[in-house]
Structure 1
């Protein structure tokens, strides 16, 4: 596999997981199991889902859209983003979604931070209460653009690109874990090596940002991996849903996503399907898991018909070109 294939795989996996989880997000696992069993293809947003009803099968949500916005701004800024421009870009994205009649809008941490930014609060302070998974869900481009070594520089890049909305110890830890796993995959690491580095990066990331009282991302990730080790798929899904949690909190979503990767470690598509079947904030969990699996296994490991269906449903996405630009940025960062 080439670096480009792994980089494209990270973005493609993110989008595939996101689109698979679009119809099931914020629904209980029992309902998902009754309606779909384990998802095995893209489904439209059902009428009883207050967020995704009316969305066509295969459409992505804010997870992919925000990752693309961040990735494009990262390329434009040569590895850095202007936090004020980023805030305005996110607000403009939500305005477009509202105009289109979408109910899949900004998450609570991001919305509060952007409200503060619009009111004139310094972007060094706007994200001081942001503890949800918004930074982790969109951080894959940072993992593509920056190598794992030195790990501190990667964590610095995670912080710089995310602090405007998520400037807390728990959010930086979670986003650092995801970026490190993606970056390790880009470098050819095995999945187990990538997940181990994710835990290390989470410990380092927890030293950044404003203190937030909550479970430690690194410790909860290690615990979640041990919890599902040796389990069947059904048992693993049950344990992740009931004990690890699949809510919007970073210290639920990131450990859940990393744990689900270990359930089908050689099958990126299956991991995305399993994650999208979890319930809760499962589009985000599936997006994170898909990015990690795609980086470790490459775009070619996803079914070609699934990739084609995704791109047909989202013709505005230019993921392969964005991946190439981020790989070029990585080459410069490594130099």
Structure 2
């Protein structure tokens, strides 16, 4: 597959996962199956159980909308990822009430408030290690929007990791959030290699989690909480264990977790992908049905495996068309622009 095809897949699958997961969010693994009668595999209009109540079927939430705004801002900056560009993107996103008022997570909301309240372009020096509220929360918002860092650094793990750190520090400046974001960014980067496999993307992602955690302890704040690296190992042990796939998915939801914390969402995504190496679209669907923060986990899974989806697959093509129309997004054009920037830079990020 071409680089453009792979980038389209990444963006498309992230958007599909977010929009489909919007209807199952906040329900448990069992509640999804009881509420809908079976696992969800199509876009549905969210009802009163979901934060996305008011969305139409196929509309995205904060997850893909932040990927979209971040990608646009990076393109306006000639493909260069720096903190000012990331800050510009997140502030522009926050000025859209449909997204910010309804979906902004606690860490992102705190960071945006700080930037809007501050007269300086950078936060004031911290009096203590973790006294700034936004910086100390290891939530999954760092990983949900990180795909552009990998896309702009195809087959360049160190570049993808460094770009992920830059993006993450604007809103989630701590060791765990950075580790999770670097894991996803590295997997995206590796997936863009000409003959990449899902196994190679997962291996790169695991390396990204380790490398991100190590680098973050130097450039950021170390915070307490479960290690993303160790929780990925736990997710793999479940995926490689005994039982049916459905039983393993249930165990992932119960043991690893699928909630707001980065050490649940990202490891859970790795476990889901490990169970679906031959079927990237099914990986996203399984993420939609894992329970709890389903839109975010499905967007993360979509980012990591999107390069492997067949754009001509009938089901994917239908979902892809619907999600673009429902949100008035031209993902094809966005992918074209990102591809051009990457190719102009010689296949490396800037």
Name the CA distance, whole Å, in 2 between partners of 1:217 and 1:184: 19
What residue is the counterpart of 2:291 in the other structure?
A: 279
Q: 1:168 aligns with which of 165, 174, 190?
A: 174
Q: 1:220 aligns with which of 231, 234, 251?
A: 231
Q: Deviations over 1:46-82 (max 9, x none)?
A: 1333x12221111111101000111111222234345
Deviation at 1:218, TM superposition (A): 1.7
What residue is the counterpart of 1:116 in the other structure?
A: 114
What residue is the counterpart of 2:105 in the other structure?
A: 107
Name the CA distance, whole Å, in 1 between partners of 2:318 and 2:159: 38
Counterpart secondary structure, 1:269: helix
Q: Is 1:263 the equivalent of 2:264? A: no
Q: Deviations over 1:241-279 (max 9, x none)?
A: 101111111111001111111212221221111111111
What residue is the counterpart of 2:186 in the other structure?
A: 180
What residue is the counterpart of 2:207 in the other structure?
A: 200
Deviation at 1:89, TM superposition (A): 4.0
Q: Deviations over 1:262-319 (max 9, x none)?
A: 212221221111111111111000011111111233534452222222222122x121
Instruction: Tell me the TM-score normalized by structure 2.
Output: 0.88
Counterpart secondary structure, 2:167: helix
Question: What is the aligned length?
Answer: 330
CA contact (8 A) 2:180 2:228 kept: yes
What residue is the counterpart of 1:308 in the other structure?
A: 321
Q: Is 1:40 the equivalent of 2:24? A: no
Query: Runs (4+) of structure 1 moved beyond 4 Å?
Result: 123-127
Name the CA distance, whole Å, in 2 between partners of 1:296 and 1:147: 14
Query: After the TM superposition, which of the residue ranges 135-144 and 88-97 deviates more from structure 2?
Result: 88-97
Name the CA distance, whole Å, in 2 between partners of 1:282 and 1:141: 21
Name the CA distance, whole Å, in 2 between partners of 1:290 and 1:23: 16
Deviation at 1:119, TM superposition (A): 2.4
Name the CA distance, whole Å, in 2 between partners of 1:64 and 1:81: 18
What residue is the counterpart of 2:139 in the other structure?
A: 132
CA contact (8 A) 1:27 1:279 kept: yes
Name the CA distance, whole Å, in 1 between partners of 2:81 and 2:192: 22
Unaligned runs of 5+ in 1: none
CA contact (8 A) 1:113 1:130 kept: no
Q: Is 1:14 the equivalent of 2:10? A: no
Superposed CA RMSD in Å reads: 2.1
Written as runs of structure 1 = structure 2, the 5 A alignment for 1:227-238 is: 227-229=238-240, 231-238=243-250
Name the CA distance, whole Å, in 2 between partners of 1:171 and 1:329: 27
Deviation at 1:152, TM superposition (A): 2.5
Q: Is 1:334 the equivalent of 2:347? A: yes
Query: After the TM superposition, which of the residue ranges 83-92 and 241-250 deviates more from structure 2?
Result: 83-92
Deviation at 1:94, TM superposition (A): 3.4
Name the CA distance, whole Å, in 2 between partners of 1:190 and 1:132: 29
